[in-house]
Chain A
Amino acid sequence: MKTVRLMTAASLLALGVNVAPVCAQEAEAPSAPPAGDASAFAADPAARGETPEAQKGYDVSARSDRTDVGFGDSKVAAKMVLRNAAGQESVREFTFSTLEKVDESVGDKTLIVFQSPRFYDGTALLSHANILDPDDQWLYLPASKRVKRISSDNKSGAFLGSEFAFEDFTTTELNKYTYKYIGEEEVDGMMTDVIERYPRYEKSGYTKQRAWVDQDIYQTRKVEFYDRKGDLLKTLTLSDYREYGGIWRSHLFAMVNHQTNKETDLQFEEYQFKTGLDAGDFEQNVLTRLR
């Protein structure tokens, strides 16, 4: 039985693949948000909450999220550098393709294809993000030509042994959280809005996240993750923002785990947008045609 490879990969890659959406959501919008597009979305009342702090927190996040509207689709090459407390490094490389969601009741579709380590060359992971339901995910194993639907239950598990959890990639959709506005704070010379967000989906490894969103181009600059005990677990710093025709993307996601002192850098090459991808490129059986 060669299930070994299959299942290894399944667990390793059982990530929910929405790295691009991480950027998509966190990396928000241009200084002139497309108000017309944004107003096309109706806020989810359950996510927006009732108190003024909750609603302001939601609105700051929504403004950030919705300025990303219209990116269409994107492709980008990525490199993940894992570093342990002793400074030893290990590298994984892959490409991301993302198709923008049709509305806020569903999530983006993402395809990740691995290039290295060579052990995983050609292995691919397809994810259709949902809001409160578990994401739909399929894994492709090139040696056996097998497309396998996998569980997306492992939200708090480590993605490819890194300091990123699966949910750090998959649960970036606006309505997966409720919010609370905390206040303003200066970060690296930028004024930011500080918000807290609380997972609405099940099986999160976090009780809350605290995010700093700048007031100029509405980008997320920093996120703190608090574990189930409420202790600070990790800090994510997003930098090297570049603009693509009004769409902003961070090209360096640096995650530091304060409890283990391990670090992971997720580096992106230049993005390509509106490359002509359509829903057919994100059907599960397209995985058999990748190579």
Chain B
Amino acid sequence: MPAKNPMVATLSAGAVLAGVALSATSAVAQGLEVSAEVSAEVRYFADGPLYAGQLDRWQPSFVFEPEILWSNEDGKHQVAILPFYRGDTRDEEREHFDLREAYYRFNSDNDWSVTLGLAKVFWGRTESRHLVDIINQTDAVEDIDEEDKLGQPMVHFNVLKGWGTLDFFLMTGFRDRTFPGRDGRLRFELVVDTDDPIFERDGRRAAPDFAARYSHYVGSWDFGVSVFHGTSREPRFAIDQAGGRIRPVYDLITQGSIDVQYTKDAWLWKAEAIVREGHGRTFFAGVGGFEYTLYQVLGTGADLGLLTEYQYDDRQDGIVVEDFGAENAALFPGGPPAGTAVIAAPITVADNDVFMGARLALNDLQETTLLVGGTIDVADQSTGMFVEAERRLGEDWAVELQARLFLNADPDNFLFVFREDDFLNLRVTRYF
């Protein structure tokens, strides 16, 4: 048959499409593909601010995300450039630019590849918490769900064989976690001073991180085993009471993890577990549960998914170290400022919690979905709830409505700091 080669990159009106060009030796689309998403967003907080300086109720913003993808004819060489910009007039810390991805990848004929540059990598199985996912830093000003990630500079070597997948990572150029500024909502009473972090390691952001992962599937089982050694993406906090600020503390850690999923009929059983050394006492954390889908409910084409997961974490994030000890004192070469207290581990709300959620997918032409969920603390019943509804509007538009509620927050639960931050977020996206 005549090998037809529709390798035509068509540029049109700022948008593009390289179309459905098919490459010769891989399933990778080839040619140049340029596109973009622009979103307008507004958050409405149900209550006025709790802390001095915080914005009141309305927080409009926008997001601009271009996407430039290129691959040569045989798919061996790939380049991706995905910038991200959020404009936010109310919180200057939330107004930020990032290169989510900016990499070159070489795909060999022998099932291995090398990626150089800023990239995003996801590890894990569960829905309510991503314990195992450690390569990329969280972009915490985007949302509090830890789903948004910053691009990580890396050399990533990947081997894909019949016996499984091996990944090796060498990383430098540590990315600091983002935090809301003084004007922002969804923060602590004290503002996190992202300009003055503390690093345990001498090289600070240049100190190299290493990671490796093996993942595979056997029958109905999918699993992964991973290790990481380097600077923790999660900071713990040094509370500078005199300065009225929080300083992030980035420790050197070693983490081992496993993640597994068992798929049987309409049931997905999932679990993740980590052991981490480096923030005081070595700790364990796990999350596990199921996702069960009822297809074509009530005689319609809609699907209803039910999710339940249990979250456990025994880190010492409730312990404030007042007298430091040698390990913490070393973080402050000139001696710690008076009145400084250090929390022994990065804080988490997921220490002993149950997540339950339900997702309705109408499977209509506009792909309407509704997701409702909540995480409740078993010990004190502090609850974080959310609703997310999304649908397309025609071929090029989509709209998403999101709500977060913080209910029954116990003063001893970290959720307590968000108790006045219930909000509604409307997002309208145009695809180019």
Chain B, interface SS category: strand
- Selected interface stretch from B91-99, B204-212, B384-392, B412-420: B384-392
Q: Which residues of chain A come closer than 8 Å to B357, judged between CB atoms?
A: 1, 3
Please name the 6 residue pairs, one residue from A and one from B, whose CB atoms are nearest each other, closest first.
A77-B20, A118-B431, A285-B165, A280-B111, A8-B369, A145-B122
Q: Which residues of chain A come closer than 8 Å to B113, judged between CB atoms?
A: 289
Measured CB to CB, the residues of A under 8 A from B are: 1-8, 11-12, 75-77, 82, 84, 90-91, 93-95, 97, 111, 113, 115-119, 121, 134, 136, 144-151, 153-154, 156-158, 161, 244-245, 269-273, 275-277, 279-281, 283-286, 288-291
A95 pairs with B431, CB closer than 8 A: no
A154 pairs with B303, CB closer than 8 A: yes
Closest chain A residue to B307, Cβ basis:
A3
Q: How many A-B residue pairs have CB under 8 A?
A: 187
Further 18 A-B residue pairs, CB within 8 A, beyond A4-B359, A11-B363, A291-B28:
A1-B127, A1-B388, A8-B361, A11-B305, A95-B29, A115-B20, A117-B392, A119-B431, A144-B122, A157-B301, A244-B1, A245-B1, A271-B1, A279-B162, A280-B160, A284-B217, A289-B113, A291-B69
Q: Which residues of chain B come closer than 8 Å to A285, judged between CB atoms?
A: 158, 160, 165, 215
A2 pairs with B111, CB closer than 8 A: no
Cα A149 to Cα B222 with chains together (Å) = 8
B398 pairs with A3, CB closer than 8 A: no
A151 pairs with B390, CB closer than 8 A: no
Knowing A12-B363, A118-B431, say if A1 contacts B386 (CB, 8 Å). Answer: yes
Closest chain B residue to A247, Cβ basis:
B1
B165 pairs with A283, CB closer than 8 A: yes
Q: Which residues of chain B come closer than 8 Å to A111, judged between CB atoms?
A: 27
- Selected interface stretch from B54-62, B176-184, B263-271, B315-323: B263-271
Knowing A1-B147, A8-B369, A285-B160, say if A272 contacts B261 (CB, 8 Å). Answer: no
B332 adjacent to chain A (CB < 8 Å): no
Q: Which residues of chain A come closer than 8 Å to B6, judged between CB atoms?
A: 77, 269
Cα A244 to Cα B3 with chains together (Å) = 10
Query: Which positions 237-286 of chain B face chain A at CB distance < 8 Å?
Result: 261, 263, 265-268
Query: Which positions 1-15 of chain B face chain A at CB distance < 8 Å?
Result: 1, 3-4, 6
Q: How large is the interface on B (under 10, 10 to 19, 20 to 34, 35 or more residues)?
A: 35 or more
Tell me which of A116, A136, A288, A290 has the highest count of chain B C-beta atoms within 10 A of its own C-beta. Answer: A288
Tell me which of A7, A273, A281 has the highest count of chain B C-beta atoms within 10 A of its own C-beta. Answer: A7
B20 pairs with A157, CB closer than 8 A: no
B359 pairs with A273, CB closer than 8 A: no
Q: Please tell me which one of the listed residues B17, B161, B296, B359 contacts residue A280 in the complex, with CB atoms under 8 A apart.
A: B161
B293 adjacent to chain A (CB < 8 Å): yes
A151 pairs with B1, CB closer than 8 A: no
Q: Which residues of chain A come closer than 8 Å to B396, judged between CB atoms?
A: 117-118
